A and B are shown apart, each in its own frame.
Chain A
Amino acid sequence: MKTLWRTMLWDWRMLARSRVGVAAVLLTVAFLALAAWNGARFAGQWQLEAETATASAAEARTRLLDSIAAGDSWAAFPFSAESAIVLPPAPLADVASGRADLDPRATTAFTFRKQHELFRHYEIDSPLALAQGRFDLAFVLQTLLPLLVIALGYGVLAEERERGLDRVLAVQQVPPRRLLAGRLLARAMLLLVPLLAVFAWLWLIGGTHAPDTAHRSPRLGWALALTVGYLAFWWALVAWVGTWRLREGQTLLALLAAWVLLVLALPALAGLVSRELHPPPSRFELIAAARVQEIDGVKRSAQLLGDYAHDHPELDPKAGSNLPAWASTLFLTSRLVDEAVAPVVQRFDAALAAQQATVERWQFATPALMLQRGLVAAAGTDERRRAGFIAQSRAHLVEYRERTGLMMLGGELLDAQRLQALPAFAFVEPDGASAWRVVRWPLLVLWGLSLVLLTIALRRAGRGRV
């Protein structure tokens, strides 16, 4: 242990002299700090957005009650009521923004709304910023830290060989295995210490957007375990390639080729394969089909009303006589459209779920994808939380629409008590166990792969094949 420590100290001295170590540490700190700040900004904006949506809904409700109190008969119709649907920030939105900046995060449900149009008017964000992606921790951890690992580690062994230092060390009977382990550990610490500091900050100070620490703490632990496993893989790869007896430049090229393949090419290919295997149906087709149904509903409005009355014998046929005809048509048509386009909407959900399943099978082809999928699952910015939110939102819309529609056709008018009694939306956070089920295999494979690679490298080094 003592000799290992001595090797590490010697390596740090060497790195300090070559200035590579200082530059790598400075870059790591700068990247991590910037990414953590960016992440906190994104999560804060999301929180503000959620609070604003909730406050706007409360204001709208007050305005509606004022109008009703002022005798505005129009305001008292149940179709005037709206229910806010808000997605709170994901537990680790500050670590990995995932697809959260793309997906809808708030809307309102009301009597005439259709399921496929539940989220509207949200496509305001800058397409340029969305296309470019965010400089968040997930990006730094997945993309930049492996490059820093390569920059710090490619010269280990190769450098000694080129300078003839390996022979000097052999004469001094320094075991190559200890040398390799000590130097790698010394260099790994340079990246690990700032990384641990950032995670400590995220755990102790960050996360004001997610007050429920029960959701956050274990997820932070998984994210850290994934990240350290991922970095361990890259160090192990560096060690293994270092034992190939290549020249320094060749070692660097080989590691870089591995980075391009594992970080850029394979994830891109996985995305491509998943889309080609499970293409979503056409959204154009969905719109056209929904509009055909809408006109059909308008033409058959009397029949639809008759059918509804038949299904609801408790309704007094004269009760809704003050109701404008278009109101009942819109309500009944939205139900009809939902029913008609449900198979197409399901095909969209199924295509995305199948793409996700394909990517999750492919993730084991590259550690970068394992880390990315693991981080977004732990963060709650993946397809699962989105699907949960959309399913809950649709269910709420149907319940809200049915309730207000029935009230409307039954001739009921809104007052404070009835408004209060209407269903409200509260997002039920998927339990941590579902995220853990996604994270556990990549975590296990990443650590397993790192250990295997490292063992091979150390054995090769021990046999003097360096």
Chain B
Amino acid sequence: MSAVRAIATQALRLWWREGRLPAVLLLVVLLGALSATLSIQRAAESERDRVAAEATDRETFASQGARNPHSVAHFSRFAFRPQAPLAALDPGIGPYAGVAIWMEAHYQDPANLRAAEDRVELGRLADLSPAWLLQVLVPLLIIALAFDALAGERERGTLPLLLGGGASARTLLLGKSLALALVFGVPLLLLALAQAPAAWGRADTAAELLLRLAAWVLGHALYLGAWIASALAVSLWMSRARTALVLLLAAWTMATLIAPRLAIGIAEAMAPVPTAGEFSSAVYRDLREGIDGHDPADARREAFKQQVLEEYGVERVEDLPVSFAGLALQEGERYGHIVFDRHFGALADAYRAQERWRRIGALAGPLPALQQVSMAAAGTDIAHHVDFMGQAEARRREIVGMLDEDLIRHGAGKDMAYLADESLWARVPEFVYALPRYAALATRQWLDWLLLAAWLLLAAWLASRAAMRTEAAR
């Protein structure tokens, strides 16, 4: 162990003398501090705005005065999504996923207010966040330090001396790995810990937050470990530092720049999401003509009327003891639920299928798997987005159902002329977003964890083979 420590110390000293370590540390500290501070600040501002808007909307809704319940169902409430607990660490799909849903009558709205729409488009290459820093830039910095860590020793002729002095190739590898792990592991931990105080209030329990933080750190540790092992394996395998550098840079370009975009392109082709126009046309067509295309809305309404008249034993709508308009609206909503479940269900399935297809990019490197793990831990992945849409829709149905029920009970003979008083609006339930338990979502991610671990093991195996080869060549 002392040999490993000594090699690590010597490597750190060498990198420091060469000026590479100070440059790398300066970059990591500067970008890390900047991204962490700004991300925390932005998340806090967004939360403040959301809480203020919710309070205003609550007040507006409660003070509408006497109105027809169906008019109020149209006005309804908005479901605002709170910031994900670790969104400042990894914004994930956040800027491209809506955070507000209008829970209006007759239609399930998609989530709107996407932050990316309010900023200038810069090619989506880099969004300065702790996750981007660790996932894209740090592997490059690992390469910059490690490419000649062993190939350089060989070129300088110091490798045989080191091996002859009693240190095995494996010890050399472990020593250099320890040095790199220290250089990049400490910033990883600091970045994660810096978020904890700000995120404290956004997770339901401390245990939930710690679990998410631990998963985030572990995922990144596996990822950076895979890069460290790969870089050292290549450095030990290659006879020239330059060749090692070229190979590693090609691998980095493929793994972090090309494969993720190609993979999402494949995912889009294999699991296409309809365009907005196609989606709403299909929804309205099903609402109008029936989900089988042979059950038009007018015929449905007429059949329903006959059914209601029969049920109440009367011949005319005017003789009903309840509001027929309310019953018809309730029936329309019931049919709408079938249509919305079908279309939004298919949409969520397509999102999830794209996530699965995107894993194809993990053949070129561990980034797609890590991004999945990181976004899930941060609460900024597709699963959290779909969950938010599901919770908002459930509350929409509750609110609209409650208002229609009031119209049915009290609007007999008056229908749309019936006015309910303000006490009803006060009884309308609030939307309170419940953050899904991480443990429940994480079980769906076993494949991503497996891919991450597989990449680490593969890299470690390559490094170990390179060490054996070096030992054999002594």
Contact = CB atoms under 8 A, between A and B. Distances in A.
User: Do A and B make up one complex?
Assistant: yes
Interface of A: 34, 38, 45, 48-49, 52-53, 56, 98-99, 102-106, 120-135, 138-139, 142-144, 147, 151, 248-249, 252-253, 256, 260, 263-265, 267-272, 274-276, 280, 282-285, 287-289, 291-292, 294-295, 298-299, 324, 326, 348, 351-352, 355-356, 359, 369, 372, 376, 381-383
Given A252-B246, A268-B128, A284-B53, A128 B277 contact: no
Contacts of A48: 275
A123 B118 contact: no
Contacts of B111: 123
B249 A104 contact: no
B267 A129 contact: yes
Contacts of B278: 49, 52
B275 A45 contact: yes
A98 B121 contact: yes
Nearest to B108: A121
Contacts of A98: 121
A103 B117 contact: yes
B245 to A, nearest CB: 6
Contact of B276 (A38, A123, A135, A298): A123
B220 interface: no
A52 B144 CA distance: 51
A267 B122 CA distance: 7
A106 B281 CA distance: 12
Contacts of A324: 416
A45 B71 CA distance: 38
B14 interface: no
Given A56-B277, A102-B96, A132-B264, A270 B245 contact: no
Given A264-B126, A287-B100, A120 B109 contact: yes
B122 A352 contact: no
- Which label, helix, strand, loop or mixed, suits the secondary structure of the A interface? helix
B167 interface: no
Contacts of A104: 276
A265 B31 CA distance: 9
Residue among A48, A126, A249, A271 with most chain B CB within 10 A: A126
Given A52-B281, A282-B49, A295-B63, A127 B122 contact: no
A284 B118 contact: no
Contact of A248 (B31, B49, B75, B242): B242
B119 A298 contact: no
Contact of B122 (A131, A260, A359): A359
B96 A127 contact: yes
Contacts of A382: 121
Contacts of B148: 249
B116 A130 contact: yes
A123 B128 contact: no
Contacts of B97: 127
Contacts of B100: 283-284, 287
B350 interface: yes
A291 B58 CA distance: 10
Given A124-B275, A268-B126, A271-B127, A102 B120 contact: no
A272 B38 contact: yes
Nearest to A106: B277
- Top 6 A-B pairs ranked by shortest CB distance? A284-B53, A133-B124, A99-B121, A268-B126, A282-B49, A127-B93
A319 B341 CA distance: 43
Contacts of A326: 71, 416
6 contacts: A123-B111, A125-B275, A126-B350, A283-B118, A284-B54, A376-B121
- Among A128, A263, A270, A324, find the residue whose CB has the most chain B CB atoms closer than 10 A: A128
Contacts of B122: 267-268, 270-271, 359, 369, 372
